[in-house]
Amino acid sequence: MMPIQQGYPNVGGASGPAYLSAVLFVVCALFSFVLASVTMGDVPVIEVDLAGVGMAFTMDFTGNRDFGISATITTGCVTLTAAALMFARLRFARWTLGSIGIVVSLYYLIALFVFTSQEAPIDLLMLMIVFGLLWITSTVFVFLPVTARALRR
Protein backbone atom coordinates (compact mmCIF):
# COMPACT_ATOMS: atom_id res chain seq x y z
CA MET A 1 0.00 0.00 0.00
CA MET A 2 1.39 3.41 -1.03
CA PRO A 3 1.28 6.32 1.39
CA ILE A 4 -1.01 9.18 0.46
CA GLN A 5 0.82 12.39 -0.25
CA GLN A 6 -0.40 15.27 1.84
CA GLY A 7 -0.01 18.93 0.99
CA TYR A 8 1.35 20.34 -2.20
CA PRO A 9 4.56 19.17 -3.79
CA ASN A 10 7.43 21.62 -3.59
CA VAL A 11 7.82 22.31 -7.28
CA GLY A 12 8.30 25.60 -9.01
CA GLY A 13 5.64 27.42 -10.92
CA ALA A 14 5.72 28.59 -14.48
CA SER A 15 8.96 30.31 -15.37
CA GLY A 16 7.26 33.18 -17.21
CA PRO A 17 7.33 35.72 -14.33
CA ALA A 18 11.07 35.20 -13.86
CA TYR A 19 11.72 35.81 -17.54
CA LEU A 20 9.40 38.81 -17.61
CA SER A 21 11.20 40.31 -14.63
CA ALA A 22 14.55 39.79 -16.34
CA VAL A 23 13.22 41.41 -19.53
CA LEU A 24 12.05 44.46 -17.56
CA PHE A 25 15.53 44.91 -16.13
CA VAL A 26 17.12 44.38 -19.56
CA VAL A 27 14.95 47.27 -20.80
CA CYS A 28 16.17 49.38 -17.86
CA ALA A 29 19.79 48.51 -18.70
CA LEU A 30 19.34 49.30 -22.40
CA PHE A 31 17.75 52.64 -21.58
CA SER A 32 20.73 53.36 -19.31
CA PHE A 33 23.11 52.70 -22.20
CA VAL A 34 21.06 54.93 -24.52
CA LEU A 35 20.98 57.73 -21.93
CA ALA A 36 24.73 57.47 -21.37
CA SER A 37 25.58 57.44 -25.07
CA VAL A 38 23.36 60.46 -25.81
CA THR A 39 24.81 62.30 -22.80
CA MET A 40 28.35 61.69 -24.10
CA GLY A 41 27.58 63.70 -27.21
CA ASP A 42 28.97 67.17 -27.88
CA VAL A 43 25.55 68.84 -27.94
CA PRO A 44 23.91 68.44 -24.51
CA VAL A 45 20.24 67.49 -24.39
CA ILE A 46 18.97 68.73 -21.03
CA GLU A 47 16.11 66.21 -20.71
CA VAL A 48 18.48 63.29 -21.28
CA ASP A 49 21.20 64.75 -19.08
CA LEU A 50 18.81 65.00 -16.13
CA ALA A 51 17.57 61.41 -16.61
CA GLY A 52 20.96 59.76 -16.18
CA VAL A 53 21.80 57.98 -12.95
CA GLY A 54 23.90 60.25 -10.75
CA MET A 55 23.32 63.44 -12.71
CA ALA A 56 21.66 65.14 -9.73
CA PHE A 57 24.95 65.04 -7.84
CA THR A 58 27.54 65.13 -10.61
CA MET A 59 28.45 68.79 -10.14
CA ASP A 60 28.91 68.21 -6.41
CA PHE A 61 31.49 65.45 -6.94
CA THR A 62 33.47 66.23 -10.07
CA GLY A 63 32.21 69.47 -11.55
CA ASN A 64 31.42 67.89 -14.94
CA ARG A 65 29.08 65.29 -16.41
CA ASP A 66 31.57 62.41 -16.35
CA PHE A 67 30.47 61.12 -12.96
CA GLY A 68 26.85 60.83 -14.07
CA ILE A 69 27.80 59.16 -17.35
CA SER A 70 30.01 56.64 -15.51
CA ALA A 71 27.31 55.91 -12.95
CA THR A 72 24.73 55.38 -15.69
CA ILE A 73 26.97 53.00 -17.64
CA THR A 74 27.94 51.08 -14.50
CA THR A 75 24.30 50.72 -13.48
CA GLY A 76 23.42 49.43 -16.94
CA CYS A 77 26.28 46.90 -17.00
CA VAL A 78 25.61 45.48 -13.56
CA THR A 79 21.87 45.31 -14.24
CA LEU A 80 22.38 43.57 -17.57
CA THR A 81 24.72 41.02 -15.98
CA ALA A 82 22.26 40.26 -13.15
CA ALA A 83 19.39 40.02 -15.66
CA ALA A 84 21.38 37.44 -17.63
CA LEU A 85 21.75 35.44 -14.42
CA MET A 86 18.00 35.80 -13.87
CA PHE A 87 17.41 34.24 -17.29
CA ALA A 88 19.41 31.28 -15.97
CA ARG A 89 16.90 31.21 -13.07
CA LEU A 90 19.47 31.70 -10.34
CA ARG A 91 17.76 32.76 -7.13
CA PHE A 92 20.38 35.21 -5.93
CA ALA A 93 19.96 37.21 -9.16
CA ARG A 94 16.46 38.13 -8.00
CA TRP A 95 17.83 39.69 -4.82
CA THR A 96 20.67 41.36 -6.72
CA LEU A 97 18.26 42.93 -9.22
CA GLY A 98 15.93 43.91 -6.40
CA SER A 99 18.75 45.61 -4.51
CA ILE A 100 19.93 47.48 -7.59
CA GLY A 101 16.34 48.46 -8.33
CA ILE A 102 15.77 49.80 -4.83
CA VAL A 103 18.93 51.92 -4.93
CA VAL A 104 18.21 53.32 -8.39
CA SER A 105 14.52 53.92 -7.59
CA LEU A 106 15.47 55.79 -4.43
CA TYR A 107 17.98 57.81 -6.43
CA TYR A 108 15.27 58.86 -8.89
CA LEU A 109 12.95 59.89 -6.05
CA ILE A 110 15.72 61.95 -4.44
CA ALA A 111 16.76 63.43 -7.80
CA LEU A 112 13.17 64.43 -8.51
CA PHE A 113 13.09 66.23 -5.16
CA VAL A 114 16.46 67.90 -5.85
CA PHE A 115 15.51 69.12 -9.30
CA THR A 116 12.07 70.35 -8.28
CA SER A 117 13.56 72.20 -5.32
CA GLN A 118 15.85 73.94 -7.81
CA GLU A 119 12.68 74.92 -9.70
CA ALA A 120 13.38 72.89 -12.82
CA PRO A 121 10.42 72.90 -15.22
CA ILE A 122 8.36 69.71 -15.17
CA ASP A 123 8.65 69.21 -18.94
CA LEU A 124 12.42 68.80 -18.50
CA LEU A 125 11.86 66.17 -15.82
CA MET A 126 9.38 64.00 -17.73
CA LEU A 127 11.99 61.58 -19.11
CA MET A 128 13.46 61.19 -15.63
CA ILE A 129 9.99 60.51 -14.19
CA VAL A 130 9.21 57.88 -16.85
CA PHE A 131 12.58 56.21 -16.36
CA GLY A 132 12.14 56.24 -12.57
CA LEU A 133 8.71 54.64 -12.93
CA LEU A 134 10.22 51.92 -15.13
CA TRP A 135 12.78 51.14 -12.43
CA ILE A 136 10.12 51.12 -9.71
CA THR A 137 7.89 48.80 -11.76
CA SER A 138 10.77 46.41 -12.42
CA THR A 139 11.74 46.39 -8.75
CA VAL A 140 8.21 45.71 -7.53
CA PHE A 141 7.78 42.91 -10.06
CA VAL A 142 11.02 41.16 -9.08
CA PHE A 143 9.89 41.05 -5.42
CA LEU A 144 6.46 39.54 -6.14
CA PRO A 145 5.91 36.05 -4.72
CA VAL A 146 5.02 34.71 -8.17
CA THR A 147 8.53 35.63 -9.34
CA ALA A 148 10.04 33.76 -6.39
CA ARG A 149 7.94 30.69 -7.20
CA ALA A 150 9.07 30.88 -10.83
CA LEU A 151 12.71 30.56 -9.75
CA ARG A 152 12.17 27.27 -7.95
CA ARG A 153 13.31 24.23 -9.84
DSSP 5: P
Whole-model pTM: value is 0.84
Q: Which amino acid is at 27?
A: V
Q: Domain spans of the chain?
A: 16-144
List CB contacts of 40: < 8 A, sequence separation 6 or more: 69
Q: What is the pLDDT of residues 117-146, one digit of tens each?
A: 888 788 888 888 999 999 999 999 999 998
> Which of the residue ranges 15-19, 45-49, 108-112 would you say has the lowest mean pLDDT?
45-49
